[in-house]
A and B are shown apart, each in its own frame.
Chain A
């Protein structure tokens, strides 16, 4: 338990280590083979394609060029990127606004209700993503329940067109990724030392001041994690803009999909996908670095590190 997770089962002599290398092959081999062939090679291939020219009738002509990356600076595509950034930022902000009080409230429930609330948050997330998107088509429709309710209440006479707008895309994305905000926030808030808040209260701080000066600052790693978890998939989603946005809101994901399936310009699609992926991975890296630094305060180094490790493991699971 006290050993670091990467160390071997026992302190071993060099000869045993060498034998261990070979013994590792049946364990490591299949995984390395699969991941290399179906993840590593495809990513390399996309990288290579991004540096070649497109064929006249689709496909790839193996002539080296930087044109695909230069084309990214075309105002048309820059507009799509700006649009995606704006929508993903709005989605992240809204998810944080909705998720924070929810996560905070969950930490204050009794253990039994806490489990139930967490399952209730996760349940929609485990149901089919397309079905959830479809449900919003029903709700936001001109004849849908929201418009029916608004008209019945006399708030509006004519139905409001909500479907096929950028706002609808934002709602759909917030709905889809909200659990990815709530879970890291919850894990960060629930690991907070309650005595700190109590001490602040005893020293005369108002509840809001405790919240502002103790609770929120201590939960910054959770906020960062949640924001990245929502922002990253929101950037590359192409299904929601198409189904709820009616194809009128074009995001980076839609552009990449179209380059591969409609325009048949694989090199340009590859360049787009590559730039998107690298930016998102940089974001993930910065977030994990920052969270680690923030949790590794003086005096609680070990605990902090272990917590950060647990979070990255949960991260991999939640990222699905």
Chain B
């Protein structure tokens, strides 16, 4: 065994590295100074400004619409896809096809979908982002539900059929409940992916309907204001609550 002090120090340094930027942002969000780097005392002004920012509110609403819509589609379609792949396909071809979107660079998907929509004359807007997000989220839901399916006990379904339940009833009353945690994890992942997704939205959103990440991108690009610190802190808080909640609910880390 390697003496642990040789790895204990790098271990703690890693966590300093991971959390220093986050701590800086949170502290500076309470800084009563328009100069970002000079501490002048505590204030909540930037949060007030954030709450009144029309652009950010619009971005947030757009993001929520896209995320809930695409998650709803991805969860239903992805779950069905996984069940279909496990039950009704022999080889790995359909499976590979279903999971490929998760492996492709988001840049390729972004420009590809942009090219398709422009060829078809499909007007960019919220729908284009929603559909694109659904398309790649399906792969993630399918992957997670497939993993769960491979751990199911087939004898329960056989028992259900032997007891006279039809295929629909067996699916709804026996299979689906067992898949519950997998579906929940898939939906949660799809939601988080969509909330944070930037590259595909960057190519498929209309300038008039930016999602929150696009709004943040333009804010960061065209001058840094302390308001972003407040926004960052709020989003960090939401992520922490979501991750801890997910951990409680589904033990996502075990799946990894």
Q: Please list the residues of chain A having a beta carbon within 8 angstroms of any beta carbon in chain B.
A: 1, 3, 5-6, 8-10, 20-21, 23-24, 26-28, 30-32, 34-35, 37-43, 45-46, 49, 98-99, 101-102, 104-106, 108, 115, 118-124, 126-139, 141, 143-145, 148, 175, 178, 182-183, 187, 197, 201, 207-208, 210-211, 215, 232-233, 236, 238-239, 242-243, 253, 256-257, 260, 266, 269-270, 273-274, 276-277, 280-281, 284, 310, 313-314, 316-320
Contact = CB atoms under 8 A, between A and B. Distances in A.
A201 B2 CA distance: 10
Nearest to A273: B108
17 contacts: A6-B91, A20-B88, A27-B88, A28-B85, A34-B77, A35-B135, A38-B134, A43-B104, A43-B108, A108-B7, A119-B243, A120-B15, A131-B228, A135-B22, A138-B37, A207-B1, A243-B221
Contacts of A132: 21-22
A3 B136 CA distance: 29
Contact of B136 (A37, A39, A126, A277): A39
B56 to A, nearest CB: 13
A19 to B, nearest CB: 10
B18 to A, nearest CB: 5
B21 A105 contact: no
B256 A138 contact: no
A316 B14 CA distance: 25
Contacts, number: 303
A292 to B, nearest CB: 14
B87 A24 contact: yes
Q: Please classify how large the interface on chain B is, using the bins under 10, 10 to 19, 20 to 34, 35 or more.
A: 35 or more
Nearest to B10: A101
B21 A316 contact: no
B189 interface: yes
Contacts of A126: 192, 196, 239, 242-243
A31 B147 CA distance: 17
B244 interface: yes
Interface in B54-91: 73, 76-78, 80-81, 83-91
Contact of A139 (B21, B115, B224, B240): B21
A126 B213 CA distance: 14
A122 B239 CA distance: 11
B172 interface: no
Interface string B35-56: 0110000000000000000000
Interface in B15-32: 15, 17-22, 24-25, 28
Interface of B: 1-4, 6-8, 10-11, 13-15, 17-22, 24-25, 28, 36-37, 73, 76-78, 80-81, 83-92, 94-95, 97-109, 111-116, 119, 131-132, 134-136, 138-140, 142-144, 146-147, 149-151, 153-154, 157-158, 167, 189, 192-193, 195-196, 198-199, 203, 213, 216-217, 220-221, 224, 228, 231-232, 235-236, 239-240, 242-244, 247, 253, 255-256
B107 A253 contact: yes
A105 B37 contact: no
Given A138-B224, A318-B256, A21 B116 contact: no
A130 B197 CA distance: 10
A233 B1 contact: no
A199 B181 CA distance: 40
A201 B3 CA distance: 12
B81 A31 contact: yes
Given A31-B138, A129-B198, A5 B105 contact: no
A14 to B, nearest CB: 12
Nearest to A115: B253
B213 A101 contact: no
Contacts of B142: 31
Contacts of A257: 107
Contacts of B158: 9-10
A31 B80 contact: yes
Nearest to A277: B108
Nearest to B78: A31
B256 A317 contact: yes
Contact of A238 (B83, B107, B193, B195): B107
B241 to A, nearest CB: 11
